[in-house]
Amino acid sequence: MQAGDLVTLSAYANGLDTLYSWCDRLRHHKKKPLLVGLVIKVSPPRWTGDKQSYEVRWMEPDGPKGRHGKWGLPHFNRKDLKFVSRS
């Protein structure tokens, strides 16, 4: 995954309590479209064993700031995101 890729929340992220407001089930119930975002920055791991972190700009104004919802660090891990399918 690199800067410029279109992404959405993965099944793992949809199960996180901190991202419940943006999960697919709730969006489907409220008849909202799929949450789509653009990866704007990929940060390398800081320490050995650490993972890359991704900053995402969502196409909605109230998208999650990071994997902790609107609070905490403004990044996602790779397992929190998946590519948007083109079909």
Q: What is the mean pLDDT of each run of 10 residues along the chain (87 residues)?
A: 92 90 87 91 83 91 88 88 83
> Does any domain span residue 42?
yes
Query: How many domains, in total, are found in the chain?
Result: 1
What pLDDT, on a 0 to 100 scale, did the predictor assign at position 87? 59
Burial 13-37 (b: 16+ CB within 10 A, else e): bbebeebeebbeeebeeeeeeebeb
> Does any domain span residue 59?
yes
What pLDDT, on a 0 to 100 scale, did the predictor assign at position 3? 92
> Does any domain span residue 12?
yes
What pLDDT, on a 0 to 100 scale, did the predictor assign at position 55? 93
Contacts (Cβ under 8 Å, ≥6 apart) of 18: 67, 68, 69, 71, 72
What pLDDT, on a 0 to 100 scale, did the predictor assign at position 5? 93
What pLDDT, on a 0 to 100 scale, did the predictor assign at position 24? 86
> Does any domain span residue 1?
no
Q: Which amino acid is at 86?
A: R
> Does any domain span residue 15?
yes
The pTM of this model reads: 0.84
What pLDDT, on a 0 to 100 scale, did the predictor assign at position 57? 94
Please give the residue range of the domain that contains residue 20.
6-83
